Amino acid sequence: KQEVTQIPAALSVPEGENLVLNCSFTDSAIYNLQWFRQDPGKGLTSLLLIQSSQREQTSGRLNASLDKSSGRSTLYIAASQPGDSATYLCAVELNTGNQFYFGTGTSLTVIP
C-alpha cells in the first residue's frame, strides 16, 4: 500500500522567509502528485498538480518539484506571508487511476 509522509508536521517561520515543505511516497508508480492547502474548518484548495512525466510546476510564489525515482516532492514557497498560514497536504494518485493517498500534512505558521 502506498504510504505518504510529510515532514515536518509543523513549521513556524518569520514573514518574508523562503521555505520548503517535503512529501515522500513509497511506491514510485504514480500517475500524478497534487499539493493542497487547507485552512482551519475549510475544505482543501488545489495548489499545483504535477503529472508523472513532469519534474516541476510553478504558480506565483509556489514551485513544486517531483522526483519519482526517489519518491519525493517538495513545495517551495517564496517570500512567505501571514496569509500562507495553513496546513499543506500532498496527495499521490497511483497509475492504476483514481487511487489517491494523502499525507498527514504540514501545518505552516508565518509570523508577521
Partner 1 sequence: DAGVIQSPRHEVTEMGQEVTLRCKPISGHNSLFWYRQTMMRGLELLIYFNNNVPIDDSGMPEDRFSAKMPNASFSTLKIQPSEPRDSAVYFCASRWGIGSQYFGPGTRLLVL
Contact 43, 36 (CB under 8 A): no
User: What is the bridge-based pairing of β-strands 4-7 and 19-25?
Assistant: antiparallel
Q: Which is nearer to partner 1, 65 or 80 (CB)?
A: 65
Provide the mask over 44-63, with x wherever binding to partner 1 is found by CB under 8 A and - wherever it is not: xxx--x-x------------
Among 32, 54, 63, 74, binds partner 1 (CB under 8 A): 32
Number of C-beta neighbours around residue 106 at 10 A: 21
Q: Which is nearer to partner 1, 89 or 110 (CB)?
A: 89
